[in-house]
């Protein structure tokens, strides 16, 4: 399997890049943010649980998020692998993902590619996206800044987990979209060769 973790702060372009990588490698994207938004829209029990966190820009608790991920993997859409977008966002989620891939597929994360974008650019991108995205967490600058703070306090430390496994590659996330895609593809291909 090719299991790609697409990593980076909110607004770094994970969702945009995931679409190109899906096409290139024929591995479906699993976006926990999209899954939560689907549940919010359909007012499911899961959506009701997640809403209070998402609307504030806080992370949804690990247990809720990981159970949702397991349910998605159980659908079996990615026999060749997956692109994980927005998961893991905490060290405990990273540990959970290792265990899930091992238990379900006797496999592991191939590579984690991290998009690096400075904070002020993130805030501008998200405010811009908020004009059309319909996302409550994209319109208010305080909520956006809170999401970025959540990233630095809880998510950035996930880097240590993958660095220790030799699976961490950073990519400059500022520039032309297709140039960034090319850099991601190079990093992923390198990781596949070295596996």
In whole angstroms, the minimum distance from the beta carbon of 17 to ligand ADP comes to 12
Query: Nearest-CB residue to ligand ADP?
Result: 33
d(CA 92, CA 41): 27
Closest contact distance (angstroms) between CB of 1 and ligand ADP is 20
CB of 192 to ligand ADP, least distance (A): 25
Q: In terms of CB distance, is 14 or 183 closer to ligand ADP?
A: 14
**Considering beta carbons, is residue 1 or 15 the nearer one to ligand ADP?**
15
Helix (H) or strand (E) holding 184: helix 177-194
Compare residues 38 and 190 and give the one whose CB is closer to ligand ADP.
Answer: 38
> Can you tell me the distance from the alpha carbon of 142 to that of 136, in angstroms, rounded to the nearest whole number?
12
* Residue 33: CB minimum distance to ligand ADP, A: 2
Smallest distance from ligand ADP to CB 193, Å: 29
CA atoms of 58 and 52, how far apart (whole Å)? 9
**Nearer to ligand ADP (CB atom), residue 36 or residue 162:** 36
> Which stretches of the chain bind ligand ADP, using CB under 6 A?
10-11, 14, 32-33, 36, 53-54, 57-60, 65, 86-87, 89, 93, 137, 147
Kindly give the residue spans of alpha helices, DSSP state H, lying in 57-118. Answer: 62-73, 91-105
Both tokens assigned to 2 = 């090719």
Measure CA of the first residue to CA of the last residue in the chain; give whole Å.
Answer: 11
The answer for residues whose C-beta is within 8 angstroms of residue 103's C-beta and 6 or more apart is: none
Nearer to ligand ADP, 70 or 192 (CB): 70
21 vs 15: CA distance, rounded Å: 10
């Amino acid at each position: 399997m090719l299991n790609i973790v697409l990593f980076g702060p909110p607004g770094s372009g994970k969702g945009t890049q995931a679409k190109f990588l899906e096409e290139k490698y024929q591995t479906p994207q699993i976006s926990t943010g999209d899954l939560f938004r689907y549940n919010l829209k359909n007012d499911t029990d899961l959506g009701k649980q997640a809403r209070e966190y998402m609307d504030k820009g806080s992370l949804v608790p690990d247990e809720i998020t990981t159970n949702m991920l397991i349910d998605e993997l159980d659908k079996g859409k990615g026999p060749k692998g997956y692109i994980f977008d927005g998961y893991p966002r905490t060290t405990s989620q990273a540990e959970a993902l290792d265990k899930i891939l091992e238990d379900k597929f006797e496999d592991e994360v191939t590579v984690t590619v991290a998009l690096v974008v400075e904070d002020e650019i993130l805030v501008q991108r998200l405010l811009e996206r908020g004009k059309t995205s319909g996302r409550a967490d994209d319109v208010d600058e305080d909520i956006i800044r809170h999401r970025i703070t959540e990233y630095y306090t809880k998510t950035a430390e996930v880097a240590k987990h993958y660095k220790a496994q030799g699976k961490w590659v950073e990519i400059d996330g500022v520039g032309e979209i297709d140039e960034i895609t090319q850099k991601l593809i190079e990093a992923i291909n390198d990781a596949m060769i070295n596996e």
